[in-house]
Amino acid sequence: MDELLLVDGANVVGSVPDGWWRDRRGAAERLRDHLVEYAERTGTTVVLVVEGAARGVESVPGVRVESASGSGDDHIVAFVEQAARPVVVVTADRELRQRVGALGARCVGPRTVWPGR
């Protein structure tokens, strides 16, 4: 069974101080578009979780976007709890890594999908 890549959008975007805070939605859209290339290159199913000002970013072929109604971390944990296949969570958030790790998810850092950023 193939893994699903679940991306903590706020954490990955925030991992590089490139001015993302001036346009959170635009930053999430740039990450989403980059993830399309990643999904195509690796054959991985990708889900991007966004929150706050980035809510409402649309899904595109190759990347499903989910807008968290509250905490993105809580949304990610609930997703992992309900997943019917192995999940890899992309985040540098230590607390989130512990929470999803306890549920059996594997975690990788932002540079896995956002190299050179």
The answer, yes or no, to whether residue 2 has pLDDT greater than 90, is: no
Residue 91 burial (10 A CB sphere; 0-12, 13-18, 19+): buried
pTM above 0.85, yes or no: yes
For the stretch 42-61, pLDDT in tens is: 999 999 999 999 999 999 99
For the stretch 77-116, pLDDT in tens is: 999 999 989 999 999 999 999 999 999 999 999 999 987 6
- Kindly list the strands in the beta sheet with 87-90, ordered across the sheet, starting from the edge strand earlier in the chain: 63-67, 45-50, 4-8, 87-90, 106-108
